[in-house]
Each structure stands twice: as C-alpha cells, then as structure tokens.
C-alpha cells in the first residue's frame, strides 16, 4: 500500500500522484500502453519502498532513497535490464514531480546510468527464413492471413503493435510500401517486396472478405470474429509457423531482428535500417552489426582451415 504518503501542502495522496503520473505518460509523453503499465508498476514499487522506510511525504524523496530502492531491487535479483528501466523511470518520475512543484530539486539528475546487458537477439538464417515462408497451407482464410502476416513481418521488420494497427489504406500497392504508425505516434513509410505483396493480395481478395462483419472497420488483419487482430494472436501465428518449420522458436520481435540482420548482411547501410525499423537512435540499430559479425565469425570457424 502507498496511501500513507502525501504531497506536503496539497494533501494529494500517493494514489492521486500515480494517477496523474499515468496520465502524463499517456497523454503528454504518448508512451505505449505496455510502457505506461511498466512505469506505473515501477513507481508503485518506489512509493511502497518509501512508505516502508518511514517516509510520510513525497518531498522527502532524495537520491539516497532512490539508490536504496534500486539497491533493494538488485538484492532481489532483478536483471540489469529491469534495473536500467527502473532507473530511467525514476528519472521521468522525479522530473515530473519537480515540474509540478512537489520536489524542490530533481534527485533523479544525480542517479548514475544503469547499463543493461545487450544480449544478441536470436535470428533465423536466410535458409531458415525461406523454409518458414515456403510452408504450404490449405489456402483457407486463416492460412492466407497467417502467410501475409509472416511475409509482412519478415519483409518490413515492423513491430507487432504496428502490424496490428495497420489499416487497408496503409498499403500502397503501386509503390509497395506500408504507412506505419510507430512509437510516439511517429509515422514512417516502409518498403516491402513482391512476395509480401502477393501474400497481401491473396489475403485481401480471397481471405479478408469472408471474415468481414458488421462493424469490422478498416483493419488490414482480422481475427476470426471479424475484429482487428490482437498481438497475442499474431504471436501464436509466428510460434506455430516456426514450429512447423522446426526452426529456432521466437516471437514477432525475432522476425524484426531477422529482417534487420538480413538487410545488413545484404549490404544495407545502418541509416537505412534505422529508418525502416523506426529507431530513434542509431545506437539501437547498431546491435544488428554485432549479430552479423558473430554470424560471420561462426562461418569462419567452420570453414577456414586456419580458424
């Protein structure tokens, strides 16, 4: 419980502070629902820690209290990635409180930067990707939809949330591009190839019309009841297809990693891959160069007589 902590001078409770912070994340920072849930959970944990430590007012939150909280998280065995996210969240929260006048200074500015481990993402090799996309199906609406989903994910590297948000009018068949709404509601245009175009046409002509119901709307990909497809369904589609092909199991994000890696292996420059994926920072895209180098090392060890 966090109800014992209040904002001195206003009487705002911890629950009210959380509600205002959640609204700030959604409406002002325009973060994804997943990130909003994670950040609200992190600050709930922080406020609970403050209460347990005897803090009665939010204005007693200082850098020592933040470090104590993060230290407890470390002792509890939280991963470095989780600690890095919670450090970032704490900075957002203290800056928010400082702007509202609840904190005289912003203690988050004094927090060190927690480094997360950048583990190499699992990816399919090109032969595995071809095998997955070459799977024969019955050609019914579900099969046509699932094939189009797999082709689009591999061809474009879009996030699963972006794929679910696609509308029919977002597909430009003449230019073979998708209009994608990414994080922070930033729109970008992503190209795709002829195999993805053929799969989309097959779904839109022979599959999607059979699932349209009253109130279906403009969604490109539908569930069996005629509504916009959800992320859980897309993940099940990907896992099922990879399972049938007996390749490395991964979710839609694994196909995003695979698309980026194969583009770099094919000679694409980092900036182009960054734009395609919708990364705000080039540093995020650079992880794929490490994937390509590691694959090159593996091939070298297997093939070179002096390896």
Strand order in the sheet with 177-181: 171-172, 177-181, 187-191
Catalytic residue numbers, as ranges? 159, 183, 253, 256, 279, 288
Q: If you search the block for the tokens 């090109």, which residue do you land on?
A: 126
Residue 222's φ and ψ, nearest 5 degrees, are -115, 155
Residue 180 phi/psi, 5-degree rounding, is -115, 135
CA 288 to the chain's CA centroid: 16
Q: What is the spatial distance between Cα 17 and Cα 20, in angstroms, rounded to a whole number?
A: 5
C-alpha 247: how far from its chain's center? 23
Q: The tokens 């007589």 sit on which residue?
A: 305
């Amino acid at each position: 419980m966090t109800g014992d902590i209040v904002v001195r001078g206003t009487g705002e409770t911890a629950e009210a502070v959380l509600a205002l912070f959640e609204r700030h994340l959604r409406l002002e920072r325009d973060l994804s629902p997943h990130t909003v849930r994670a950040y609200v959970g992190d600050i709930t944990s922080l406020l609970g820690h403050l209460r347990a430590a005897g803090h009665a007012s939010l204005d007693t939150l200082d850098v020592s209290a933040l470090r104590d909280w993060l230290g407890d998280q470390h002792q509890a065995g939280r991963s470095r990635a989780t600690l890095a996210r919670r450090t970032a969240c704490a900075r957002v929260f203290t800056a928010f409180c400082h702007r509202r006048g609840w904190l005289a200074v912003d203690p988050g500015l004094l927090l060190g930067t927690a480094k997360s481990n950048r583990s190499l993402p699992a990816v399919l090799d090109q032969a595995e990707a071809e095998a997955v996309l070459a799977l024969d199906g019955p050609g019914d609406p579900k099969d046509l939809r699932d094939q189009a989903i797999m082709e689009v994910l591999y061809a474009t590297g879009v996030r699963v949330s972006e794929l679910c948000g696609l509308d029919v009018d977002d597909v430009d068949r003449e230019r073979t591009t998708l209009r994608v709404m990414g994080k922070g509601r930033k729109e970008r245009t992503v190209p795709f190839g002829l195999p993805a175009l053929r799969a989309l046409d097959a779904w839109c002509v022979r599959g999607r019309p059979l699932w349209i119901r009253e109130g279906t709307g403009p969604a490109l990909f539908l569930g069996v009841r005629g509504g916009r497809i959800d992320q859980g369904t897309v993940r099940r589609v990907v896992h099922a297809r990879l399972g049938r092909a007996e390749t490395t199991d991964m979710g839609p994000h694994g196909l995003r990693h695979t698309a980026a890696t194969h583009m770099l292996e094919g000679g694409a420059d980092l900036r182009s891959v960054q734009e395609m994926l919708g990364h705000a920072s080039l540093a995020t895209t650079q992880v794929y160069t490490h994937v390509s180098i590691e694959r090159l090392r593996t091939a070298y060890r297997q093939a070179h007589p002096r390896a």
